[in-house]
Structures are given as structure tokens and as C-alpha cells.
Structure 1
Amino acid sequence: MSSAIVVGATGILGREIVKQLAQTPEKWKKIYAFSRSKKDEFPSNVVHRHIDLLSSADAMAKELQGVEAEYVFFAAYLQKDSEEENWQVNGDMLHNFLRALELTSAIAQTKRILLVTGAKQYGVHLGQPKNPLRETDPWLTANPPFPPNFYYRQQDILRAFCAAHRHLAWTVTYPNDVIGFATGNFMNLATGLGLYAVVSKELQLAEAGRAGRAGETFEPEPELAFPGSETFYTRFDTFTSSRLHARFCEWAVAEPRAANQAFNVVNGDVQSWQDMWPRLARRFGMRVPRDQFAGGGGGAAELASQAELASHAALNDTPPLSVFAEEAGLVGRVRPSALEQRVSLVKWSQRDDVKKAWARLAEREGLQMDAFEKATWAFIDFVLGRNYDIVSSMSKAREAGWTGYEDTWKSFSDVFGELEAANVLPKTH
């Protein structure tokens, strides 16, 4: 039987790691779930403890008194306004936590430390990367042209720490565009997409009702136009189910071939919005306008034609692909990437009619009123607005023995169900 510490236990990825381990109490005798606050109910074999990762190592050591575990999962993350701040804060959190394990002597019992990072490893937030993303791709450490990447600092900290404690091994995961749910955590791709759909539908049904009362004809089926980049609509992306990621983490810490290795962790399929957007529309009782990119159709397509809702932003002057340009024969062919929102959901979410539609829907359906304002609309804009592909290779994990797979659309659909059960979305399905 094994024991575990999960740090960041109320986040989308940390929560699922706790749930995954807790399913087999005969295997995991003790699970410590650490977070700043308790926003979720944990299984009976999980012990929740408070921790402030912004505090010093000495302060954290006091909170870790009496806690020992063979496996540590570090899934905590704090978003700051600049990459320099991200580098400092997230690096310090990991460094001080590991030092606290030394101060309590708990580290003597630990066998493996797993660090959760992400596809920012490859600079996907800066523009077009080389596809597919492979774990052997060089780090983008030149500054300039690339900003600091706090994942690099965290991995350096972890490797040095394990080298100083020779009995320790490490594993790092690189998920991308995570699909999951955590109570009170609205930094969630599925949440934003679901809210966009149901509020768009509410707006159109209200307008149809007004037209019907006036004796006018109207389109009976609400429409859901893609708000992001027309280019990206037919490009490819790879997603990570938080449940699949949790299963990977449990497998990896016990797998000798995963020791001292970093792995991409995505579902195993490659998806595009041209396939999933019609499914999303149907999921919420809507359809995609036939001419959505021509600006015709109703609902969001009409909104898209309004210039004040559109947005275009250039990304880093030097995209990550430039590092490979000479080797790949692409010198002079690599251009800066951009975010292209036909409807910026940041702007859309601030419209008075949109806010009123949400308030009306939330009151009528008994939904969590603050879900809309807490949704991370900028994150959704980024995911949908990119004008380039992101495809993560799973070859390394497969070669190490990992066989997990999850269908991406099913991941979305399942999380929509969770959001409905939690009264974040109306029960439409």
C-alpha cells in the first residue's frame, strides 16, 4: 500500500488526481490533499490539509508536520500578469514546498515527485510551434526573443532537488487545453464554451419571442456561430481530459520507465472545431449557421459582423517554429502568429444584453450566478482564436508502456454533464 501528497488538490488537474487515487483505498492507504481552501468534498480516505504556497519554507513546514508520503503530485499553479512574475512566483512555490519537505524530514520517505506543467513548455502561447510537439524539442531559453518560461525554472528546481536526494526520482507532465471540472474553479474550457452557448441561445429565444408577439416570422432553431479564428476552425488541436491525466499520473509514478522523464499527456486523438463545433451546437439544442464565416445567419453570426466585437492581436515577433526554421528548410517562411477573434468573448461577456440574458437564465434555472463573471473568457479567446495548429505527440509515453486514451468530444460532453449537475449550466441534455 502507498501514500500520496497532492498539492493543488482543488484545481482541475489536482482534483482529478485525488479522485483517481481515492478510488482504490486498498492501494493508496493515505492521501493528503493540500490546497489553500477546501472547495470540494473529498472521499473518506482523503485527508484535506491547508497550505499557503506563497509562504516561506519554514511556514509550510509547520503545515506539513506529521505528513509523510511515498509519492508527491505537485499540481499547483498561480497565474500572474507577466511571464516574469509567473517565473518568480511559481518557481518559488515549488522551491519552498520541496524545502519544507526537507525541514520536516518527510523527504526521506518519498520515492517519486510528479510535477504538472503544460504545453507552454513548447511556447504555444507565443505562436506557431513545430508540429508535432515532442519532448526532445529544445527549450526556448533565449531571452530575447522569448520571454521567461516558468516551467523551465520549475523543472530545473525539481531536477536539482532530486539529484541532491539520490533516492528520489521525478516525472513531469505536459497536458494541453485541459477539459475538466473543479468546484468553484471557472478556469475551464468547457465552462466558457457552455456558457457562451446557453446565453447565445437565451438571447435568440428572447428575440424570437418578441418577434412572435409582433406577428413577425423568425428562425425557430437558435444558431451558434464559431467566435474564434476562421483559420483555426479547420486546423488541428490536441486536448487533455483531466481524468485521463490523473490516470496517467497514477501510472507514471509507479512506472520505472517514467522515472526522470517528461511526457506529453493528451487524449490520443487529434481534433478540430470543424468536427466538434456542430456537435457542441447540437448538444445545446442549436445549429451552426450555414454561412457563419460570411457573416450571415442569426445570433452570434450577426454579432460577429459588428466590428466592436472582433479582435486581432499579434503574438511574439519570433514564433517557436523559428528555432527549427533552418533545419526544416523554412528560413524566411516563418511569420508571427496571431489571435483572431470574430467575436471576442471578453468583449461579448461585457455587453449589457448578454449580462441581462445570463441573469435571467440563472435566476430561472437556479444556476450559480457568479459563474458567468468568473469564467475565464480571455482563456477561451486564446484557445479558439489561434491561427495555428497544436499537435502533441504521444509516442514517448506509448513507448514507455502507456495505453490510455479518451475521445475528446466525449470528454467535453461528460464535463458539460458535470456542469449541469453542479448548476453552472442549465439542464438541457
Structure 2
Amino acid sequence: MPSAIVTGATGILGQEIFKELSKCGDRWDQIYALSRPADYVFFAAYMQKDDEVEATRVNGDMLAAFCKALEINGCATKIKRFILVTGAKNYGVHLGCVKIPMEETDPWLPEPLFLPNFDYRQQRILQDFARRNSVEWVVTYSGEVFGFAKGNFMNLAIAIGIYAAVSKELGNELVFPGAEEFYSNVTMFTDAGLHAQFCNWAALEPKAANQAFNTVNGDAESWMNLWPKVARDFGLSVPADQFSRPAPLASEKALQAQPPLSVAAKTAGLEGTCNLPQSYIRQRIDLVWKAMAEKHGLDASALEKASWAFAGFAWGRDYNVVQSMSRARKLGWTDYKDSWDNLKGVLDGLREAKVIPSA
């Protein structure tokens, strides 16, 4: 059944529309009413666009329109704090080798030397809105997120789950589909639930006002450690010679020729030492997945919708990705999530939701 949004649901006409739709449970599945002002705003809307210029335009325009609407209807001055959700793209992790650890005080990458960054545009929009309306703000910089929302397939864990499930169906071992260099490099993740807890804390913590925060699980991980655990979770093994095998399905993904680390390279004594990855593996498993979906009652569209391009990029890097949590820790944030427990929980959730087969 369809769902509906009713704006102005406390007005004379809007209220009656809401009441009428609410009576018809056989016609409307869910009805969302939008009207009341609020003290705190959490903005996590995001639209995926492969082109960085287009991503900057679309995601910036969404936030700008939202802020403008708050000002037009008089809600803006009632807001106490506005929390904006962004990510490690703030540091240019999608462009190449970055400074480690990444800290909130690191300079933004200059344009036009680097591609437009929608995180920057959104933060400028938020800060301008906050100044005009005397509103406090908080920005979060998450790492690679492990989480699951029904109907949303933009998740590295879904790509992992499908890849492992198909490997099992074919009787294969679980070969890591990425760069050998990145397999042993350090990376960091963000549990979606832990991020929500952080937003809850940051909204009401007085000392957190008008600051950006890295928001990662708090442990330093590697795929060398995680991948064998994924294999065991699916009843598989990792081949000892996985990186000496040919990769006939490898494709290329061009990254920025000048990596983000170049901004800090001179002061860090690292000029000219960054190598950028050029390829990632994309498995072609359409027919196998279709048969599995029919056999196990799975969502057949999950294969097509899974974030294969992002997974290929994430596993194809040859540089470390480390975000410092010192700023948040100093203000009293102490929560933590083990990244394997995080990933395992998401995989179990995918099984329960019939996105991937039961173990």
C-alpha cells in the first residue's frame, strides 16, 4: 500500500486531510505529518551521485532548501542546535592517500586543485544558517558505515554478504576482492547505531556546540583481521594464496592524480611518496543470484542495488584510513563498538530480513 506526507497537518485543511487518510487503513499504509517546530534538528538526508560536481549541487541544494523553509515558517529561531551528518569525504578519502590520523582541525582541500566536496558546501550552508538565526551546530564525520535500513542498499555490509553468500553457493573459498596492500592496512568503521547515540549525546552536550567530530567505532581494524571472520561466519575459508591468483574481472577506477595528503605532505615530510590504487574487482554473478533469490525467498534486486562501485573502491585502496577520536573523548564521549561485532550484527540482520540466505 502507498504512504503519504501531509504538510501543515495542524492547519484547518491539513488536519482534516490527515484525519481522512488515517481512517482509511485499507488504502494508506503510513501517513507522515509535518508541521510542528522543534528544538533540535538532525539532518541525515543524502542523495548518491557519481559525479562530484552534481553530488555537491544536489546535496547542497537539499540542505539549503530545508534551511530556507525553516526560516520562512519562523521555525529557525526556535532551534537550539542543528546536527548535520556527513562523513570522511571531508578529508578526501575518496580521492586518494590522506594524512593519518585525520583530525577535525585538518585544512579543507582547496578547489579547484581538488574536486568540489559536498561536505564542505553543506557545512558552509549550515554555518551561515546558524549565524543568521543564532543556532548552535554540530557536524559528524563518520567512517565507512556498517548498518542496515530496509530498502536501502547503500551499505558495504550488503556487498560483503552477497559476495560471501554467492561464493558459498558456488562452493568457492572466500577470496578478498581488493588490493593486497589494503588488506593489511588500517581502516576504521562506524556503527550506525553508535553514530545515532553520538548524535543524541552531541545534541545535548553543552561543550559540543559549534564543532565537528569524527564519529567512528574507536577500534583500529584491518581486512586481514576481519576477512577470515567473515569467511567463518559463512562457513567458508580464505585461500592461503589468494593474492597470487589472477583477477580476470578487474576493472579500473581513476582517482585524483594529486592525493589529499599532498596538502600536508610538505610539512609532514612526505612529498612524492603516495601511490594511488587503479583497480577493483567486480564479480558478475547475476544468474547465480537470481537462482538463489528464488530458492531462499530473497530480494532479487539486492544484487543490482548493492554498492558494488563503493565496495570496489573501498577494497581497492592502498592507503590507511584512520580518524582520531580525541576531540570527542576530551569532551566526555566514551562509547565504543567492536567493528567485528558491528559487522556480524549487520550480517545477521540481513539474514533475518532475507536480503541474504540464512547461515
TM-score (norm 2): 0.89
> Are the counterparts in 2 of residues 317 and 336 from structure 1 also a CA contact under 8 Å?
no
**Residue in 2 that maps onto 1:311:** 251
Alignment of 1:352-371 (within 5 A): 354-371=285-302
**Residue in 1 that maps onto 2:15:** none
**Residue in 1 that maps onto 2:103:** 134
Separation in structure 1 between the aligned mates of residue 324 and residue 273 of structure 2, nearest angstrom = 22
SS at 1:139 equivalent: coil
Structure with larger RCO (C-alpha < 8 A, sep 6+): 2
Separation in structure 2 between the aligned mates of residue 115 and residue 269 of structure 1, nearest angstrom = 24
Separation in structure 2 between the aligned mates of residue 334 and residue 310 of structure 1, nearest angstrom = 25
**Residue in 2 that maps onto 1:207:** none
Q: Does 1:49 align with 2:32?
A: yes
SS at 1:181 equivalent: coil
Q: Deviation of residue 109 (structure 1)? A: 2.2
**Residue in 2 that maps onto 1:243:** 193
Q: Identity over the aligned pairs, expressed in percent?
A: 52
Partner deviation per Cα, 1:217-264 (whole Å, 9 max, x = no partner): xxxxx4101010011000010000000000000000000111000000
Q: Does 1:78 align with 2:47?
A: yes
| Structure 1: runs of 5 or more not aligned | 1-46, 51-63, 205-221, 296-304
Q: Deviation of residue 159 (structure 1)? A: 0.6
Q: Indicate how the Cα distance of structure 1 residues 242 and 339 shifts in structure 2: closer, same or farther if over 3 A, else same.
A: farther
Q: Deviation of residue 141 (structure 1)? A: 2.1
Structure 1's consecutive aligned runs of 4 or more residues displaced over 2 angstroms after TM superposition are 47-50, 311-314, 333-336
AA partner of residue 390 (structure 1): V
AA partner of residue 273 (structure 2): V
Aligned residues: 330
Alignment of 1:86-125 (within 5 A): 86-125=55-94
Q: Does 1:409 align with 2:336?
A: no
Q: Does 1:327 align with 2:294?
A: no
| Structure 2: runs of 5 or more not aligned | 1-29
**Residue in 1 that maps onto 2:147:** 180
TM-score (norm 1): 0.75
Separation in structure 2 between the aligned mates of residue 48 and residue 114 of structure 1, nearest angstrom = 25
Partner deviation per Cα, 1:170-190 (whole Å, 9 max, x = no partner): 000000110000010001111
SS at 1:99 equivalent: helix
> Are the counterparts in 2 of residues 73 and 114 from structure 1 also a CA contact under 8 Å?
yes
Q: Does 1:191 align with 2:148?
A: no
Q: Does 1:289 align with 2:227?
A: no
Q: Indicate how the Cα distance of structure 1 residues 48 and 394 shifts in structure 2: closer, same or farther if over 3 A, else same.
A: farther
**Residue in 2 that maps onto 1:146:** 114
Q: Deviation of residue 336 (structure 1)? A: 4.6
Q: Deviation of residue 357 (structure 1)? A: 1.4
**Residue in 1 that maps onto 2:136:** 169
SS at 1:154 equivalent: helix
> Are the counterparts in 2 of residues 322 and 334 from structure 1 also a CA contact under 8 Å?
no
Q: Deviation of residue 314 (structure 1)? A: 4.0
Separation in structure 2 between the aligned mates of residue 49 and residue 259 of structure 1, nearest angstrom = 30
> Are the counterparts in 1 of residues 253 and 313 from structure 2 also a CA contact under 8 Å?
no
